[in-house]
A and B are shown apart, each in its own frame.
Chain A
Amino acid sequence: MVTPELLQACRRGERGAFEELVERTRRQVYSMARRLMRDAHEAEDVAQEVYLRVYRGLPTFRQEASFETWLYRIVANTAFTQMRRRGRFGDVAPEPMGDEAPSRDRPLGEAAMDRDDLTRALAKLPAASRAVVVLRDVYGLTMKEIASEMGTSEGAVKVRLHRARTRLRELLAEDR
């Protein structure tokens, strides 16, 4: 939990304040980065870059916005920059078209929602689809925020999210 007082202290450059902020959020940042990136090494690179951006951005961060959302957006933006740099983001594996309606004979109840199965299924999604699901469903970013970070339209994000969830359900059903 990052308090407004801690943010103020970071802005003033108080000794130990930024270290405290890093300590309080690093697990959260790493976890999000790991869910977006392909491996642990890439996630670590993202986490390192995130904190440099946070440090640079703190003086202009408006307190009325949620710090958590601001942080999530920085993680997303940094991850997308890395993916683009590695040529992975633009060239997303084709997603299955058609048969997008969830199949009624394979309802997925709580029993199917094992955390490990879900993590494995998420990892199988193409980078951009995974990113949309992670940002929207795991971290609660709005469609507008996701579209802004991805440099696309809200409509495109909605379509991708719908397809990604469908694919995710298929992957979970296959695992069963």
Chain B
Amino acid sequence: MTGYDDQPLIEALRALREEPVEPPPGFEERLEEHLRRELRWRVPARRIAHDRRVRYGASVGGVVVAVAAIALVLRRQSKRAAA
């Protein structure tokens, strides 16, 4: 949907994409500070979530806890049966 004389306008507009707008002084620092504050906990959490060793450890830990829980239940059941 372009008019017959839209093309020069569209080309000029497209060229704007390559022309960055100068941000106000201190923009980079404020952005960095904002992100540091907002993502303080999320970045380490994501790192941990993607760490193979942590995942492996969590799996092993989960198995140990599950086995311990089952053993506890079985032990209680056998105690009750004996009593």
Contacts and interface: CB of A to CB of B under 8 A. Distances in A.
Q: How large is the interface on B (under 10, 10 to 19, 20 to 34, 35 or more residues)?
A: 35 or more
Which of the four size classes fits the interface of chain A?
35 or more
Contacts of A169: 5, 9
B53 interface: no
Binding site secondary structure of chain A: helix
Contacts of B35: 18-19, 22, 48, 51-52, 55
Contacts of B31: 22, 26, 44, 47-48, 51
A168 B31 CA distance: 33
Chain B interface mostly:
helix
A9 B41 CA distance: 17
17 contacts: A13-B43, A13-B44, A13-B45, A18-B43, A19-B35, A22-B31, A27-B23, A30-B20, A30-B21, A40-B24, A47-B31, A51-B31, A109-B8, A115-B19, A137-B9, A158-B1, A161-B1
Interface of A: 11-15, 18-19, 22, 26-28, 30-31, 34-35, 40-41, 43-44, 47-48, 51-52, 55, 101-102, 107-110, 112-113, 115, 118-119, 133, 137-140, 158, 161-162, 165-166, 168-169, 172
Interface of B: 1-6, 8-17, 19-21, 23-24, 27-28, 30-32, 34-35, 38-39, 42-50
